[in-house]
Amino acid sequence: MNPITRRKLIYGGAAAVAGVGGLAVAHRLAKRYGLIPPDSAGIYGPGETLTYACQRLLTVHTPAREFPRSMISKNPFANAVAPPNDAFKRLQAGGFRDWRLVVDGTVARPMSLSLADLKALGLRSQITEVACEEGWSYIAEWIGTPLSSVLREAGVLPQARYIVYTSSEEGMWGSIDMQDAGDPHSLLTMGMNDGDLPVPFGGPLRLRLPRQLGYKSIKYVNRITATDNIKKFGKGLGSVDPEYGYSWYAGM
Amino acid sequence: MTKTLRHPGVVRVTHWLTFIAFIALLVTGGEIVISHPRFYWGEVGNVNTKPLFVIPIPSSRDTVPTSYNYVMPDQNGWSRALHFEAAWVAVLAGLVYGIYGLWSGHFKNLIPERRDWNWRSYHARIAKYLRRVPPDPAEERSYNVLQRTAYVVVIFVLFPLMIWTGLAMSPSFTAAFPWTAALVGGRQSARTIHFFASGLLLLFLFVHVAMVALSGFRNRMRAMITGYTRDSEESR
């Protein structure tokens, strides 16, 4: 048979203590270095946390993949969006001259920027891929102002831990951590493939986050809010996506 | 009637963890495919691109053209969450198993013996299966060349390939390691390989369970759960 010997008991006990102790230390360290996502509760929390923490550590210094101009997709696909509301239609009729991006929260200088104001902060162009969680993808050139330029202009306070962004589309909002916010590829996008960003692709203003799946790149962004407490927003899960079962962190 | 240790504890625990994770990955993976049952080769692909092939099933997205006039319910949210959580279980179990296998010499029982590294051995063993010759005593304690090859392919080729092609679809992971996508031909190629490799793993599961059933289901299951076989039943 298989008697439980004293040696087995000691080894097993030591392994269990080491395991529990290791988990407790790992959890404390993860918490201190911001490696726990806002939607870490529930049965999928361990998986979400492991993925987020590991990918955060891997991507500290790595921007998204960029592609040569020859790889730009001839026929990019614009996913379905809800029909625009009346306010959006009025702004569209005016050529989006009155579109405003409100910047507020834990910033030294809250501001309201027109598209021209945004462009004046400096444009950047990058050829990156949109990868949808469903499986499809396309590559396009995106032209816009890095989110980090806007945050610098507004003077984000050091206690800020997340940047919340909101769409003119009802109920659409998300957030990213400061590492993503500081990535030069996190682009407040106004142009696509040498033209204005078309409305079906998120025009006039879309926050393109190429290190995450497409659903994080919310269309029609009209407000960004720096915060030290993500729990105050919505149901406290970091974005609207977890309310539908989708992960807050979509780097995977 | 004596009892012999057939499978050590680490192998048993990681085997069943991997089994549970694999079933979860299979179901949720299928669920995710339904949202876009089209496959491509290269870096990009979408409904405006010519597909490599299309699975003739309805989709859970009305943006995907299918030959069905209805849309399946969207199950991607929990499916994705469970897919990645199960992937972590499989990867961590695989890590423990791999370290144990190297440390204990367990893999020596799985890698085909040096004298079997030729087509004749495979040919002879297939012929033996076809003639339904009962296994000889040496094979009962160990694995024959076909079994070893199947296990080696699953453990050292298909599972690593699933992890690789899975990660090659991650926009964050490929930001850190762009070559993981480039080496397999791009993101969509990775997705297509991921799909076919999962098919091969499913095929392995069918054959594996069939062989367990044919060679004495109760005794084999007892061996993988308690670790021990009953010798008197071994030759059933």
Per-residue confidence (pLDDT) for residue B26, from 0 to 100: 98
DSSP labels for B61-113?
-TTS--SSSS-PPP-HHHHHHHHHHHHHHHHHHHHHHHHHHHHHTGGGGTSPP
Provide the CA A133 distance to its chain's centre, in angstroms: 14
Per-residue confidence (pLDDT) for residue B165, from 0 to 100: 98
Instruction: Give the number of other CB atoms < 10 A from CB of residue B226.
Output: 14
Q: Do the domain assignments include residue A62? A: no
Question: Chain B contact for A77, CB < 8 A?
Answer: yes
Residue A226 contacts residue A240 (beta carbons within 8 Å):
no
Q: Do the domain assignments include residue A6? A: no
pLDDT at B78 over 70: yes
The pTM assigned to this predicted structure is 0.92
Per-residue pLDDT band for B235 (boundaries 50, 70, 90) equals very low
Query: Residue A94: helix, strand or coil by DSSP?
Result: coil
Enumerate the domain spans of chain B.
Answer: 3-234
Per-residue confidence (pLDDT) for residue A1, from 0 to 100: 45
Phi-psi region of B162 (alpha: psi -120 to 50; beta: other; left: phi over 0): alpha
Q: Do the domain assignments include residue A159? A: yes
Q: Do the domain assignments include residue A250? A: no
- Nearest CA among A116, A103, A109 for reference residue A165: A103
Whose structure tokens read 């298909």?
Answer: B158
> What is the ipTM for the molecules in this complex?
0.90
Q: Do the domain assignments include residue A59? A: no
Our CA-based measurement puts residue A2 at a distance from the nearest CA of chain B, in whole angstroms, of 9
Mean pLDDT, consecutive 10-residue segments, chain A of 252 residues?
Answer: 67 83 80 86 93 91 92 93 91 96 97 97 96 97 97 96 95 95 95 95 96 96 96 94 94 90
Number of domains in chain A: 1
CATH topology for B3-234?
A: Fumarate Reductase Cytochrome B subunit (1.20.950)
pLDDT at B2 over 70: no
Residues of B (60-119) whose Cβ lies below 8 Å from A: 61-63, 76-78, 80-82, 84-88
| Token output for A235 | 């149901």
Q: Do B187 and A129 touch (CB under 8 A)?
A: yes
Domain that holds residue A82: 67-244
Provide the CA A189 distance to its chain's centre, in angstroms: 14
Per-residue confidence (pLDDT) for residue A68, from 0 to 100: 97
Q: Do the domain assignments include residue A42? A: no
Give Dmax (Cα) for chain B.
67
Q: Do the domain assignments include residue A56? A: no
**Mean pLDDT over residues B203-213, rounded?**
95
pLDDT digits (tens, 9 = 90+) for A214-233: 999 999 999 999 999 999 99
pLDDT digits (tens, 9 = 90+) for A77-113: 999 888 889 999 999 999 999 999 999 999 999 999 9
CATH of the domain at A95: 3.90.420.10
Residues of B (154-193) whose Cβ lies below 8 Å from A: 169-178, 181, 187-188, 191
What backbone phi and psi angles, to 5 degrees, belong to A182?
-85, -10
Give Dmax (Cα) for chain A.
83
Which of the 8 DSSP states describes residue B157?
A: I
Residues of B in contact with A133 (CB under 8 A): 32, 35, 76, 80
Per-residue confidence (pLDDT) for residue A4, from 0 to 100: 64
Question: Chain B contact for A139, CB < 8 A?
Answer: yes
Q: Do the domain assignments include residue A142? A: yes
